[in-house]
């Protein structure tokens, strides 16, 4: 019988949780033993008894539990010392942050531990149920609009009252991936006038189908990867984009930036001189603030005021709606574990030939598996 261990989150400020009591019954149907660290559900209001009633075993000795695990599952990755406490056959599964964790990858290779990164789940129809990046990004899009609203000194919808007419807020959303689309839908529902832009031309139709306007900027050819991610623009294209969107930014009450480049630093899209042109009291939300930022003035993890414009760089967007974020993440994990279960042996099995794992595995048996990481590590060691 495989032992799946769910630890209390390694990062003390993490409010999300990798397992809800409802998931336990489904895992048990696979034939797994579910071990859950005491107080795992504290941030969401679930007690140990909720997990026990669902069929889980509670532990308090984390080292002992790690030493018998076939898989350790969490939102954030385990610390290096804890990874080393797991048996060689164990696989850790979390948001591993694979492009910023060279020390951890080196340690996984040295200790021959397997590790799955939820950021590396392929963008395919088969993997939609496991796609934790999308589930969390969608909630982030919603939360960023709420944050912008609560920082703005005006209403989003138009209001016609005897005391005068209030104009609808103008919202500009840059980057129309999963988060951007949800942000557009949320701002539209609140009655704002929404304009959006993305370098991928196919986004125009998606934006219009949500009732928003697409800002047309002719950048020439822009490329995407086979997974649908945008490729980086050339320096000239980026300058052209910054110039072409400057008037729209200056005219907006709220700007939300969600532009990312998978595995790379996000592009810088709003420079300080453009912020100077915005109305006092306007709000910018920079989704990428923790990773370097789309906005020159944003500060990682903070909301600041720069020249009378509020710039929200808080990060941890999905954590603001931690219950829903946990439910979606826990379901993503469960779909992955179900896919990994060997139907003949009824055991949790790490099969490096599984198409999902060919991408999602960071390391397995002393080797880097994900092709992007593998080419990076081959270059570095050559």
Which of the residues are catalytic? 123, 128, 131, 134, 229
Minimum distance of ligand NAD from residue 89's CB (angstroms): 30
- Cα distances (angstroms) measured from residue 150 to each of 143, 153, 281: 11, 8, 12
Name 338's bridge partners: none
| Interaction of residue 261 with ligand NAD, rule CB under 6 A | yes
**Does 129 engage in binding with ligand NAD (CB under 6 A)?**
no
Please, which residues have CB within 8 angstroms of residue 309's CB and are 6 or more apart in sequence?
A: 275, 278, 280, 281, 282, 283, 284
Residue from 2, 35, 74, 134 that binds ligand NAD (CB under 6 A)? 134
Interface with ligand NAD includes 286 (CB under 6 A)? no
129, 189, 200, 374: which one contacts ligand NAD (CB under 6 A)? Answer: 200
At closest approach, how far in Å is the CB of 128 from ligand NAD?
A: 5
Pick from 229, 281, 300, 339: which binds ligand NAD (CB under 6 A)?
229
**Nearer to ligand NAD among residue 225 and residue 378 (C-beta):** 225
Residue 156 interacting with ligand NAD (CB under 6 A): no
Take residue 250 and report the two structure tokens written for it. 């200056």
Nearest approach, Cβ of residue 136 and ligand NAD (Å): 10
- Segment 164-183, which members bind ligand NAD (CB under 6 A)? 174-180
- Asked if 315 touches ligand NAD (CB under 6 A), the answer is no
Long-range pairs of 81-89 with CB within 8 A, sequence gap ≥ 24? 82/10, 83/107, 83/108, 83/111, 83/113, 83/115, 84/111, 84/113, 86/113, 88/112, 88/113
Q: Is 214 in the site for ligand NAD (CB under 6 A)?
A: no
For ligand NAD, the closer of residues 56 and 143 by Cβ is 143
Number of residues that bind ligand NAD (CB under 6 A): 30
**Starting from the edge strand earliest in sequence, which strands make up the sheet with 254-257, in order?**
213-214, 193-197, 170-174, 254-257, 283-286, 309-312, 303-306
Judged by DSSP in three states, 42 sits in helix
> Which C-beta is closer to ligand NAD: that of 154 or that of 213?
213
24 binding ligand NAD? (CB under 6 A): no
Residue 294: CB minimum distance to ligand NAD, A: 8
Q: Does 193 bind ligand NAD (CB under 6 A)?
A: no
Asked whether position 86 contacts ligand NAD by CB under 6 A, the answer is no
Residue 183's nearest CA partner among 147, 219, 224, 150 is 147
Selection from 333, 367, 364 nearest residue 351 by Cα: 364
Residue 184 or 297 having the CB closest to ligand NAD: 184
Question: Which residue lies nearer to ligand NAD by CB, 140 or 149?
Answer: 140
d(CA 311, CA 41): 32
Distances (CA, A) of 252 to 157, 224, 243, 274, 336: 14, 28, 15, 12, 41
Between 174 and 318, whose beta carbon lies closer to ligand NAD? 174
- DSSP, collapsed to helix, strand or coil, labels residue 295 as strand
Question: Rounded to whole angstroms, how far apart are CA atoms 336 and 325?
Answer: 17
Smallest separation (angstroms) from ligand NAD to the CB of 360: 14
Q: How far is the CB of 217 from ligand NAD (least distance, A)?
A: 9
* Whether 139 contacts 116, CB under 8 Å: no
Q: Round to whole Å and give the CA distance between 23 and 51.
A: 9
Q: Which stretch binds ligand NAD (CB under 6 A): 57-65, 133-141, 150-158, 303-311?
A: 133-141
Interface positions with ligand NAD (CB under 6 A): 123-124, 128, 131, 133-134, 137, 174-180, 197-200, 228-230, 233, 241, 258-262, 267, 269
């Amino acid at each position: 019988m495989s032992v799946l261990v769910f630890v209390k989150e390694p990062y003390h400020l993490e409010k999300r949780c990798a397992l809800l009591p409802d998931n336990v019954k489904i895992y048990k149907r696979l034939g797994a033993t579910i071990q859950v660290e005491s107080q795992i559900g504290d941030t969401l209001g679930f007690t140990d008894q909720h997990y026990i009633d669902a069929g889980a075993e509670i532990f308090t000795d984390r080292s002992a539990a790690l030493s018998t695990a076939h898989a350790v599952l969490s939102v954030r990755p385990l610390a290096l010392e804890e990874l080393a406490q797991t048996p060689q056959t164990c696989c850790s599964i979390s948001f591993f942050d694979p492009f910023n964790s060279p020390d951890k990858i080196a340690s996984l290779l040295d200790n021959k531990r397997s590790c799955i990164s939820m950021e590396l789940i392929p963008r395919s129809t088969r993997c939609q149920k496991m796609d934790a990046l999308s589930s969390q990004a969608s909630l982030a899009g919603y939360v960023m609009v709420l944050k912008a609203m609560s920082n703005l000194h005006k209403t989003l919808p138009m209001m016609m009252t005897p005391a005068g007419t209030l104009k609808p807020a103008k919202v500009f959303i840059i980057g129309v991936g999963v988060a951007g689309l949800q942000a557009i839908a949320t701002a539209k529902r609140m009655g704002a006038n929404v304009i959006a832009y993305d370098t991928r031309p196919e986004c125009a139709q998606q934006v219009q189908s949500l009732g928003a306007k697409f800002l047309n900027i002719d950048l020439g050819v822009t490329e995407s990867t086979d997974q649908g991610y945008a490729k980086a623009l050339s320096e000239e294209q980026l300058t052209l984009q910054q110039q072409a969107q400057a008037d729209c930014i200056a005219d907006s009450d709220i700007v939300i930036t969600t532009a990312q480049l998978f595995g790379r630093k996000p592009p810088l899209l709003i420079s300080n001189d453009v912020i100077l042109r915005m109305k006092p009291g306007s709000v910018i939300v920079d989704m990428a603030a923790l990773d370097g930022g789309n906005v020159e003035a944003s500060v990682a993890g903070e909301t600041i005021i720069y020249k009378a414009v509020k710039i929200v760089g808080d990060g941890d967007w999905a954590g603001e709606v931690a219950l829903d974020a946990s439910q979606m993440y826990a379901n993503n994990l469960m779909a992955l574990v179900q896919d990994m279960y060997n139907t003949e042996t009824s055991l949790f099995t790490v099969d490096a030939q599984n198409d999902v794992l060919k991408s999602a595995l960071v390391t397995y048996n002393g080797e880097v598996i994900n092709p992007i990481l593998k080419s990076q590590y081959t270059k570095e060691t050559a």
